[in-house]
Amino acid sequence: EQLPGPKLGIVGPWSHAYPCRGAPGPLIGYLQEALRWWRHWLCGEDTGIMDEPLYRVWITGEERPRPFYLPDHAGSWAAEDQWPSPRIERRFLHLNATGLSGGPAPGATLSVRSPATAGRDCGRWGGYGGSCPDMPIDQRREDGLALCFDTLPLEHDLTLLGAPELDLLVSVDQPHVNLAARLCDVYPDGASALMTYGVLNLSHRDSHEHPTPCPVGTPFRVKLKLNDFARTIPKGHRVRLALANQHWPILWPQPKLSLLSVASGDSKLVLPVRPPSPRDRDVRFEPAETAPPVPATTLDEGFDRRIVTDDVGSGLQIIALTSDHGSRRYDDRAITVSSANSDTMSISSGDPLSAKLVTEYRWAIASADADTEARAVTELTADETHFDLSWRLEARERGKLVHSASATRRIRRDFA
């Protein structure tokens, strides 16, 4: 949006991979698009690249919540000749005690005190979306830990493209409070699919450069822009806005649990509604092409796991994400490579200061001449005033430790 020079935007459903290789699909001929761009600007060739729509975006269709998406997303390509597009309608919905509606209805103040474990089912920040089960799952549990505002069942399909915006009148009982807002597509059978979300440390409500404590017990306004997204919500579904004050483990919790109160009737949500365009038919890509892969033999397939453990007695919850990437031998050079990584995130529902993150990574390379392995472990915890970060690195050759390093660092929270 802010780039002043020549620009084109292509946004698809892929994550952590090139559009010619990523998952979920559909894949596109990204290399051909890149060549058209560079030949135009570096070689002066007329490739037609600048005749394409300024913004080409994949609008997701009906996708039920699940931990990974393979092989393809439902949906279709859309085109806009300007971005931000003047065609996008800003539709205002008011947060009333009875739900989301077009006009304000004075009502009671609504409150929520989310447990520290709220956010568990919202997936990983920057999830891979392929075979790793780290995407948001059914949000019904999360919705039960939040304030929810629903529309009536939609009378027509509704396509949203852009960033929803919130304007809330809130009050809190602690000086340091987080806000997490989720927008969900609610199916007729009750399934709740996360479409987009936004988070804000309310101490940063006016400025990230100059944060200030929240005024306890005094209502104040908060504006929050959620992440950009594109989705068509089918007729008969409902749009749900869910507000919570925890979003673990994506958002590190504040030191104390808090009560978040929202003035119904005096708060609103703005949805970016997109009408169809004849330009959508102009979006075409060549088939995906890539160079032939290096010849390799898979020795171990590996696995991906996401295991959640709840101790209902102590309230301790552990989320363990493990990706063993298996083992592969590159045949032309007789080198074997293996790797694995894990994230273990634990917290007790009633104690935000119990939050702990441990990340581990292992990488090994073996051949006739060498057998090496590197391991790294990072741990993060916090108390009321500081983060405590520690890390350790180890390198081994033929099983013998040849190098190690470690450090700890105490970092002032400073409104974080």
Q: What is the pLDDT of residues 19-55, one digit of tens each?
A: 999 888 899 999 999 999 999 999 999 999 999 999 9
- Which two structure tokens, joined as six digits, stand for 380? 């993060």
Q: Which residue has the higher pLDDT, 107 or 206?
A: 206
| Backbone dihedral angles phi then psi of residue 286, each to the nearest 5 degrees | -75, 160
Per the structure block, which two tokens stand in for 98?
A: 């009875």
pLDDT level of residue 1 (50, 70, 90 thresholds): confident
Mean pLDDT taken over the chain: 96
Spell out the SS3 assignment of 161-179: EECCEEEEEEEECCCCCEE
Q: What is the mean pLDDT of residues 275-288?
A: 95
How much is the pLDDT for 114? Answer: 98
Q: Cα–Cα distance between 271 and 150 in angstroms, integer?
A: 13
User: Rounded to 10 degrees, what is the CA torsion of 183, 188, 191, 197?
Assistant: -10
Token readout for 275 is: 């009408």
pLDDT for 130 beyond 80: no
pLDDT band at 2 (very low <50, low <70, confident <90, very high): confident
CATH number of 89-274: 2.60.120.260
**Site of tokens 């790797």:** 339
Q: With pLDDT > 70 as the criterion, what percentage of the chain qualifies?
A: 100
Residue-wise pLDDT for 314-347, tens only, equals 999 999 999 999 999 999 999 999 999 999 999 9
DSSP bridge pairs for 356: 346
pTM attached to this predicted model: 0.95
